[in-house]
Amino acid sequence: MHSIPIDKTPSFSKLSLDEQLLSAVNKMGFEQPTPVQLQAIPLALDHKDLLVSAETGSGKTAAFLLPTLQHLLSLPSGKSGTRALVLTPTRELAQQIFKHCQQLTEFTGLKTGLITGGDDFRLQQNMLRRNTDIVIATPGRVLELMDQEIPDFSNLEVLILDEADRMLDMGFSEDVLSIANSCNTRRQTLLFSATLTHFGVIKMADKVLTNHKVVALNTLYDGHRNIEQQIVLADDNDHKLKLLTWLLQHETYNKALVFTNSRIQADTLRGPLRGQKLRVGVLHGEMDQKDRNRMMELFRDGEVKIILATDLAARGLDIKGINLVINFDVPRNGINYIHRIGRTGRVDELGLTIALVKHTEWNLMSGIERFLKQKFKQRRIKELEGKYKGPKKLKASGKATGGKSKIEPKKAAAEKVKIRHRDKKNVGKRRIPTVKSDVAVN
Ligand code: ADP
Ligand code: MG
């Protein structure tokens, strides 16, 4: 993987793990940590909350078990109750993790417990009373036991949600949240998912993690999610508007979500789109909650099929049938990008996301690609081909695309001024409604 420095061979012994754990790893025949282990273990050992995604079979189990076991070994607790809890969607997975954990704890004195539906309730109660250090469980049975006030998670040190996307798809969202809410609030939480684009996972992460770090090693095409990601190059915002109009008129979609980086930009786009007979609504954080709710309803019911939104307003948005997400402005960072595109490509739905990228945004966009370890498909729209063809020209003239160019910020500033002038001019010409009438739909 690109992220591993080539000059240093990664090895488990460099990961600050106790001999007991290294012996187990050795016995299991693991020669080197996998990329997700290499990235997640040091962060987890630093006691950070983590949101981790890596593809199936990449070694995620040891990526959360090893730092958790290390923590349990190095800081013996004088308190009662379970110290670490792993929640996972199915019994089979719980059993698999349980076995993995038993192998890893072979040379330690740590006790591992398994709690799944279908197994003896009483045995599980007894096991929990004996202060098992680390418990691997499915959420349903844990809740049943919680009804009997048996598990004590008030001193829990580490909570792990494995296969979070699957747990949510299986309808365990509420269960997982109630369990998380009954745990010690000062715990460390590690959330593992095969994908980061799952809306439920993003929401869950917001609720259960604190100041978390993200480790993203997979492509976003994994699993059943199907989000096609494209880039269309644009000369300036006027060109972007033409592209946006064309896309909204020619793409096939049930509902489309267009993101801008500012409320003003969202407002500015509405008039011209309405002029093209596109029925669009606007949603941003400075609108009345009442108006926002009404707009959401219209969108949910399909009365309005296109919404222009800012990140802030779209945060609470969980609507079926969105299969086109257009980034009119390139989001300011990779996490925002993931949040935005995660609104599409839900279970069994196809999603398409298109970012309109002008020259001042190229570096930002490549930063997002690097962050996601992905290269997006560049698409050309023949009818609206612009002059900007990407950074090749920059390269040819001796300017590297990846590095910071001193000229870029100036250009960006100049462009901003231009946009402001133009927007002002447009406001007069196109009679764009004021913010007050934000819910107005054409
Ligand atoms: P994931 O949870 O990412 O799907 P698992 O944790 O189940 O993956 O691991 C997949 C397989 O890889 C398991 O058989 C596991 O024992 C093995 N494995 C994990 N880490 C390593 C490693 N560092 N070296 C070799 N094999 C490993
Ligand atoms: Mg796994």
With a pLDDT cut of 70, the percent of the chain lying above it is 82
**Do 309 and 259 touch, CB atoms closer than 8 A?**
yes
Residues 169 and 255 in one domain: no
pLDDT at 315: 60
Q: CA 250 to CA 245: how far, in whole Å?
A: 9
* Residue 365 and residue 326 share a domain: yes
CB 41 within 8 A of CB 15: yes
- 93 and 153 together in one domain: yes
- Does residue 140's CB lie within 6 angstroms of at least one atom of ligand 1? no
Residue 288 confidence (pLDDT) above 60: yes
- Which pLDDT belongs to residue 384? 96
Max avg pLDDT among 123-137, 161-175, 333-347, 355-369? 355-369
pLDDT higher than threshold 60 for residue 401: no
Q: What gap in Å lies between CA 63 and CA 232, rounded to an integer?
A: 37
Q: Is the minimum distance from the CB of 59 to ligand 1 under 6 angstroms?
A: yes
Domain boundary (171, 197, 216) is at: 216
Cα Rg for the chain, rounded, in angstroms? 25
Q: Which of 15, 37, 61, 167 to mutate to test the pocket of ligand 1 (most atoms within 8 A of CB)?
A: 61
User: Measured in angstroms, how far is the CA atom of residue 290 from the centroid of ligand 2?
Assistant: 43
193 lines ligand 1 (CB under 6 A): no
C-beta separation of 258 from 308 below 8 A: yes
Report the predicted TM-score, pTM, of the whole model to 2 decimal places: 0.62
CA–chain centroid gap for 158, Å, is 21
Q: Are 209 and 49 in contact (CB under 8 A)?
A: yes
What per-residue confidence (pLDDT) applies to 422?
A: 37
In a shared domain, residues 184 and 240: no
CA distance 364 to 337: 11
Which span out of 222-236, 371-385, 412-426 was modeled with the highest average pLDDT?
A: 371-385
Asked whether residue 273 falls in the same domain as residue 211, the answer is no
Task: Name the more confident of 338 and 323.
Answer: 323
Among protein residues, the one whose CA lies closest to atom 17 of ligand 1: 59
Q: Given the CA of residue 63, which atom of ligand 1 is nearest to it?
A: 6
Q: Which of 336, 296, 290, 348 is nearest to 318 (CA)?
A: 296
Residue 442 has a pLDDT of 27
- CATH code of the domain in which 331 resides: 3.40.50.300
> How many residues are recorded in the chain?
442
Collapsed DSSP state (helix, strand, coil) of residue 223: coil
Average pLDDT value for residue range 399-426: 39
Contacts of 270 (CB under 8 A, 6+ apart): 280, 282, 308, 432, 433
**The predicted structure's pLDDT at residue 218:** 63
- Predicted pLDDT of residue 415: 42
* Domain-embedded: residue 406: no
Is the CB–ligand 1 distance for residue 30 below 6 Å? yes
113-119: average pLDDT: 87
Q: Based on the structure, what is the number of domains in the chain?
A: 2
pLDDT (mean) for 336-341: 80
* pLDDT of the residue at 226: 65
The verdict on 115 and 241 lying in the same domain is no
Q: Residue 353's pLDDT is what?
A: 92
Listed residues 187, 216, 245: the one ending a domain: 216
At residue 423, does pLDDT exceed 70? no
Q: How far is the CA of 71 from the centre of ligand 1 (A)?
A: 21
> Would residue 75 count as lying in a domain?
yes
Please state the rounded mean pLDDT for residues 323-329: 95
What does the pLDDT look like over 142-155, one tens digit per residue? 999 998 878 889 99
The three-state secondary structure class of 162 is: coil
Q: What is the mean pLDDT of residues 299-308?
A: 94
Cβ of 34 closer than 6 Å to ligand 1, yes or no, is yes
Which ligand lies nearest to the CA atom of residue 162 in the structure? 2
Q: 270 and 209: one domain? A: no
Question: What is d(CA 64, CA 306) in angstroms, rounded to the nearest whole number?
Answer: 41
* Whole-angstrom distance, CA of residue 140 vs CA of residue 131: 20
Pocket flag, ligand 1, residue 107 (CB < 6 Å) = no
**CB neighbour burial string for 84-94, b if at least 16 within 10 angstroms, e if fewer:** bbbbbbebebb
Domain that holds residue 276: 227-384
359 lies in a domain? yes
* Position 312 in a domain: yes
Q: Is the CB of 60 under 6 A from ligand 1?
A: yes
* Mean pLDDT across 230-245: 97
Name the pLDDT band for 37 (thresholds 50, 70, 90): very high
For residue 407, tell me if it sits in a domain. no
Segment 346-361 mean pLDDT: 83
**418 part of a folded domain:** no
Query: What does pLDDT average to over the chain?
Result: 82
* Mean pLDDT across 76-93: 87
Residue 106 — φ and ψ, nearest 5°?
-50, -40
Q: Is the pLDDT of residue 434 over 90?
A: no
> Could you tell me if 249 and 110 lie in one domain?
no
Question: In angstroms, what is the span from residue 61 Cα to ligand 1's centroid?
Answer: 7
- Tell how far the Cα of 224 is from the centroid of ligand 1, in angstroms: 21
C-alpha 440 – ligand 2 centre gap (Å) = 47
Residue 56 Cβ inside 6 Å of ligand 1? The answer reads yes
Report which bound ligand comes closest to the CA of 59: 1
Same domain, 32 and 176: yes
Residue type, 253: Y
- Asked if residue 420 is part of any domain, the answer here is no
Looking at the CA of 63, name the nearest ligand.
1
Please give the average per-residue pLDDT across 310-335, as a whole number: 82
CA angle, residues 123, 129, 131, in degrees to nearest 5:
115
Decide whether any atom of ligand 1 lies within 6 Å of the 281 Cβ.
no
Q: Quote the ligand 1 centre to 81 CA distance (angstroms).
A: 29
| Closest atom, ligand 1, to C-alpha of 28 | 16
Instruction: Report how far residue 183's alpha carbon sits from residue 153's, in angstroms, rounded to the nearest whole number.
Output: 5
Our answer on whether the CB atom of 105 is closer than 6 Å to any ligand 1 atom is no
136, 167 contact by CB (below 8 A): no
pLDDT single digits (tens) 1-27: 444 444 457 899 999 999 999 999 999
345 CA to centre of ligand 2 in angstroms? 22
- In this structure, the answer to whether residues 204 and 255 fall within a common structural domain is no
Out of 331, 354, 384, a domain closes at: 384
Mark whether 26 and 84 lie in a shared domain: yes
Work out the average pLDDT over 87-91.
Answer: 89
Residue 222 inside a domain? The answer is no
Asked whether residue 413 carries a pLDDT value surpassing 90, the answer given is no
Residues 79 and 155 in one domain: yes
Name the pLDDT band for 345 (thresholds 50, 70, 90): low
Is the predicted pLDDT of residue 342 greater than 80, yes or no?
Answer: no
Give the pLDDT band of residue 70 (cuts 50, 70, 90): very high
